[in-house]
């Protein structure tokens, strides 16, 4: 009968194998952490761009119609005419910010020249923030 196990020899990991595993775990953790940070910043930037587009849409619509408001809540943006949301298409207004992105609530009412009362909207997610400033002329940046 043949013995396949040598009882005098101990089995385990070598130092080289352990170092390789530690390096792989380190690289993976750095990669995942950077992707999480970039995704947060990307969500904030995309939300900021969508908000500026909504402000521009509200301003342009106000010059063609009357009683136009842009309503920003903590998690969504809506463009309304006489209090009724304007639905542009199925992915248009009102729209919600990506998960975790919140905004300072504010309402802008536009006149026929596209002017409104100025204000600032701050978008935040996980400690990352971006601001959108609306001038009295309706210009948003």
pTM of the model: 0.72
Angstrom distance (rounded) from CA 139 to CA 114 = 9
Helix (H) or strand (E) holding 55: helix 15-64
pLDDT the model gives residue 14: 86
pLDDT in tens, the chain (141 residues): 555 555 566 677 888 888 889 999 988 888 777 666 557 888 899 899 999 999 999 999 999 998 899 999 999 999 999 888 888 777 677 888 988 899 999 999 999 999 999 999 999 998 889 999 999 999 999
pLDDT the model gives residue 36: 60
pLDDT the model gives residue 40: 80
Burial class of 97 by CB neighbour count within 10 A (0 to 12, 13 to 18, 19+): buried
* DSSP assigned state of 65: S
pLDDT the model gives residue 17: 87
DSSP characters over 66-94: SSEEEEE-SSEEEEEETTEEP--STTSSS
């Amino acid at each position: 009968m043949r013995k396949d196990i040598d009882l005098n020899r101990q089995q385990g990991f070598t130092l080289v194998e352990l170092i390789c595993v530690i390096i792989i775990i380190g690289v993976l953790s750095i990669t995942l952490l950077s992707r999480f940070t970039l995704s947060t910043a990307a969500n904030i930037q995309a939300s900021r761009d969508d908000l500026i587009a909504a402000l521009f849409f509200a301003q342009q619509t106000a010059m063609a119609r009357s009683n136009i408001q842009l309503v920003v809540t903590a998690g969504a943006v809506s463009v309304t005419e006489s209090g009724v949301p304007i639905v542009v298409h199925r992915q248009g207004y009102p729209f919600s910010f990506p998960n975790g992105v919140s905004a300072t609530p504010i309402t802008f009412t536009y006149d026929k020249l596209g002017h409104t009362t100025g204000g600032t909207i701050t978008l935040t997610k996980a400690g990352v923030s971006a601001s959108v400033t609306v001038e009295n002329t309706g210009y948003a940046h």
